[in-house]
A = this chain, B = another copy of it.
Amino acid sequence: MKALLLVAHGSRRKQSNDEVILLTDKLRNNCSQQYHIVHAAFLELAEVLIPDGIKQCVDEGASSIIVLPYFLNSGRHVVEDIPNILNGCTALYPEINISLAPHLGASSLMMDLLIASSETAKAL
């Protein structure tokens, strides 16, 4: 079974974390053909943390897990912190294939998203 784990930074502001959870619910409904399991996890400041998110996917029967960083830039969190945490997880679950997607700013669809978003601007 294929799992998708959306990983956000996590915020002290509960509303920001709730937005990530709601987005993940929407994502689950939109990619049920590609992924049997879809969860959210956070790098810090919010639960569940990444190792617990990976465990949740494994417990539900995932044989492969794609980790999707919900980050715009390729900063330290994306380049070092998340891979380091995931390397710890691959050591715990050597039978599970864990893959890491690029940060969102690298997506070829980002241009379309930015232009579409600009067209929904409202006057101050």
Chain A residues within CB distance 8 Å of chain B: 4, 6, 8, 11, 13, 15-16, 19-20, 23, 26-27, 30-31, 34-35, 66-68, 70-76, 83, 86-87, 90, 97-102, 104-124
Contacts and interface: CB of A to CB of B under 8 A. Distances in A.
| Contact residues of A: prevailing secondary structure | mixed
B100 A107 contact: no
B101 A120 contact: yes
A8 B73 CA distance: 10
A87 B116 CA distance: 24
Contacts of A13: 75-76
A124 B101 contact: no
Q: How many copies does the complex hold?
A: 2
B124 A99 contact: yes
A122 B105 contact: no
B83 A104 contact: no
B105 A19 contact: yes
Given A16-B74, A19-B74, A124-B83, A34 B105 contact: no
B73 A19 contact: yes
Contacts of A98: 123-124
